[in-house]
Copies of this chain bind each other. A is one copy, B any other.
């Protein structure tokens, strides 16, 4: 019985939605699938975004022979520049996916000496003991693929993000034949997108968005402003189609979206008839009824174009009565409040706002319950591993798989870091590798940990009170008055009164304290403030011996 076995380790995206990353390891070869970023949660204060933990990879550095990307959305490619700066291994992906990656790396001056290898859907590559088939799937971005990974221990199918769209915008349906071929070869394990496991039925076709846009464009008298994600290339195509059909011109605003559109046009994934696209300045000179503006900010990000339009802080132009604003993307969980306040502000400015809740201007790119069952029946896996989702979604996916006849003991619900051991046609869980939340804040990556988050949370809850005291270097008694400063603690007047009442106790604590003086003063201040206000500001004390 041989010693070596296949290890599959999710480094991100299992037990959460975002920062997807999967490691396949066999003997001295390791390959990686995707390396995405993730929106921070509301309690991750001051964080820009989150990326996977590379700790385990560092211990495997020499083994890593390549990284494969399934499609070009941020939750799959968003952390590539962090990865590449540490692990400069060959990158594999379809033309559009690599195009989006190129844009990303070029913007950061990292494009040189990165080996980008274009693999078309339907083609396959060999990396060490792994033979990988790229098969086309439908998603909300063109040129998405899933992977059939033939390993010495059997065939593993990883779906990537997918849905079964029978009328996709690019008329390129999922590669059913390949899925069936896999089932003939025998699929040991299927790792499948579970994002929509709680949604009954089928996910509708992207096509219905075209119909919704048709209606919006027919009714709109003034300008039409469409907000979406910078990488939603097929959405751009749909808006362009409606623009042409209604004899309007389109201006695209926002660096990332502009760069992606140019690239997608070059690669022929986006067809914009000559004369359709105009500059923002031209657009502003055209009659409102001839203008379409496409931009980013559908998540309500205050600094995005839509966010600035809603708050009236966009320099070039303002939203005004007669404008129709369309938010054409899902609300990422946790962003609800920001998105709805953006929508409310746009309404206040007189615009008519169309969003998913009131019209099908967005449809999910992830398969629902029936899509998931079909994928299982097409591939007939022995083992089922729910992928891409929070625990509640993985649990629901497991129930669906059981409904299709997969025995519960052949379903593995695993979260980030779990080691999936594959050997002799059997799969066993064993071991755990570190998968911490790696915070990116400004120019810092991983410099912040739970301690700083805790400090920030405390500061954000009750603010801070700072006490400075001068003590006589001979007798240790306090000299003069304590200096007390506060921030975010209470409105100035209220605070002043309380802080004034602190003076006597501080003097007392100072003069009577033996042992750590700072600590005693802090304890005194904290307890008085809590008694008087039931609040717990951070208290800092500085002291000078004079």
Contact = CB atoms under 8 A, between A and B. Distances in A.
Interface stretch (A126-134, A202-210, A451-459): A451-459
A232 B439 CA distance: 40
A211 interface: no
A500 interface: no
A458 B488 CA distance: 9
Nearest to A48: B534
Contacts of A229: none
Interface in A462-511: 462-464, 466, 468, 470, 483, 485, 487-492, 494
A344 interface: yes
Contacts of A463: 46, 452, 455-456, 459
Contact of A45 (B461, B494, B533, B544): B461
A355 B395 CA distance: 13
Interface stretch (A151-159, A175-183, A216-224, A329-337): A329-337
Interface string A349-361: 0000101011000
A449 interface: yes
Interface string A372-410: 000000000000000000111001100000000000000
A478 B334 CA distance: 48
A540 B460 contact: no
Residue of A46, A334, A358, A535 with most chain B CB atoms under a 10 A cut-off = A46
A490 B340 contact: no
Contacts of A535: 46, 441-442, 444
A533 B544 CA distance: 30
B494 A444 contact: yes
A538 B489 CA distance: 14
A334 B337 contact: yes
Nearest to A461: B46
A358 B448 contact: no
A401 to B, nearest CB: 16
Contacts of A62: none
A340 B443 contact: no
A1 interface: no
Contact of A444 (B343, B444, B455, B490): B490
Contacts of A343: 391-392
Nearest to A448: B491
Contacts of A396: 358
A322 to B, nearest CB: 15
A347 B392 contact: yes
Nearest to A352: B395
A348 B414 CA distance: 10
Interface residues of A, number: 68
A448 B442 CA distance: 29
A178 to B, nearest CB: 32
The A interface is mostly helix, strand or loop, or mixed, namely mixed
Given A460-B46, A466-B542, A455 B334 contact: no
B538 A487 contact: yes
A485 B460 CA distance: 18
Contact of A490 (B337, B392, B452): B452
A15 B344 contact: yes
Contacts of A364: none
Interface string A431-448: 000000000011110011
Contact of A42 (B46, B333, B337, B395): B337
A441 B532 CA distance: 13
Contacts of A492: 451
Contacts of A453: 488
B45 A460 contact: yes
A123 interface: no
A375 B235 CA distance: 39
B442 A534 contact: yes
A88 interface: no
Contact of A459 (B345, B443, B487, B542): B487
Contacts of A444: 490, 494, 533, 535
Contacts of A490: 444, 447-448, 452
A41 interface: yes
Contacts of A256: none
30 contacts: A15-B344, A41-B337, A45-B488, A333-B337, A336-B336, A340-B390, A343-B391, A344-B392, A347-B391, A347-B392, A348-B391, A442-B533, A442-B535, A443-B532, A443-B533, A447-B490, A447-B491, A448-B491, A452-B488, A452-B490, A455-B487, A456-B459, A456-B460, A456-B461, A457-B460, A458-B487, A459-B488, A466-B466, A470-B544, A470-B546
